[in-house]
Amino acid sequence: MSHKLLKLKVRSKGCASCTLTAVRHLLRIPGVKGVRTAGDYLVVVMDPGADHTLVLNNEELNLYYRIVDWEVALEAPPQGFKLSKG
């Protein structure tokens, strides 16, 4: 099954290196199935039909973080990635 992958580079507005808490905000967004950190990037696994602008325009995420760069791809989630059932 294919999923939409949204690769985000985010910066915390309060702490330059505090991006891990963004995962908690991302998992609350409808259509998001999982999030993985990869260096400076967060890889967001979404349902194929989900609108990635829900992530990019999320008020809670944008309150604490600035999205520096992003890219969308349609492919399988990374090896060993456990998806939420929600």
Domains and CATH numbers, the chain: 3-75 (3.30.70.100)
Q: CB 45: neighbour CB atoms within 10 A?
A: 24
pLDDT at 40 over 90: no
DSSP state of 81: P
Report residue 46 as tokens: 């979404």
> pTM of the entire structure?
0.79
pLDDT-derived band at 80 (thresholds 50, 70, 90) equals: low
pLDDT-derived band at 13 (thresholds 50, 70, 90) equals: confident
pLDDT at 20 over 90: no
CA–CA distance, 64 with 60 (Å, rounded to integer): 7
Can you give the pLDDT at residue 83? 58
